[in-house]
Amino acid sequence: MKTAKQQMLAGDMYQANDPQLVAERLAAKELVFELNALHPRATDQKETLLRQLLGATGSRFHIETPFRCDYGYNIRVGENFYANYNCTILDCAPVTIGDNVLLAPNVSLFTAGHALHPVPRAQEWEFARPITIGNNVWLGGNVVVTPGVRIGDNSIIGAGSVVTRDVPANVVAVGNPCRVLREITAADRERGFTV
């Protein structure tokens, strides 16, 4: 029989009040608390705590505080990753983020979900689905990414978007629910900053 952690990582329904999961979340919260309480000039200590918290990192990355996550060990960030203030990552399933990814303030990545029917939901049954963000992606402010979503390389998600479905590579996507607005083309290199 699978443990609750094995069920969680396999994408099965599980109960998050399992003692092992509660202990692991508490350990992550302690590291996050320490991270968020650091003086802004304590950059070496910040990097040490983040490397201890996260599952994998590139050699160059920066996460502004405050930052929040559930476990930390399910988060993998690539080279040259930047997350602005108030980033929240509910990493009950793996969150894989490529190289050169930018997250604007208040970005939320949610791998966790709850049962649709009220009876199992009241019994605290949950599920988790991985989130994958490709290379060279930019998520605007207040973007929410929901369980199981993949965002392709080079894409931009506009501010305030709620991403409930996969987004292909090389596009600008916006809205709630998020939809592809247009492709990113060679002309955008000359166009500059307009959508």
Q: Map residue 78 onto helix, strand or coil.
A: coil
Q: Map residue 184 onto helix, strand or coil.
A: coil
User: CB atoms < 10 A from the CB of 54, how many?
Assistant: 24
Question: How many angstroms separate the CA atoms of 180 and 43, rounded?
Answer: 38
Question: How many angstroms separate the CA atoms of 68 and 103, rounded?
Answer: 14
From the list 106, 104, 86, the residue with the least C-alpha distance to 157 is 104
Question: How many angstroms separate the CA atoms of 160 and 77, rounded?
Answer: 22
Active-site residue flag, 114: yes
Question: Which tokens belong to 119?
Answer: 């009876």
DSSP line for 67-103: EEES-STTEEE-TTEEE-TTEEEE-SS-EEE-SS-EE
Q: Which of 39, 62, 114, 117 is catalytic?
A: 114
Question: How many angstroms separate the CA atoms of 165 and 28, rounded?
Answer: 29
Whole-Å CA distances, 142 to 71, 87, 97: 22, 9, 18
So which residues are the catalytic ones? 114
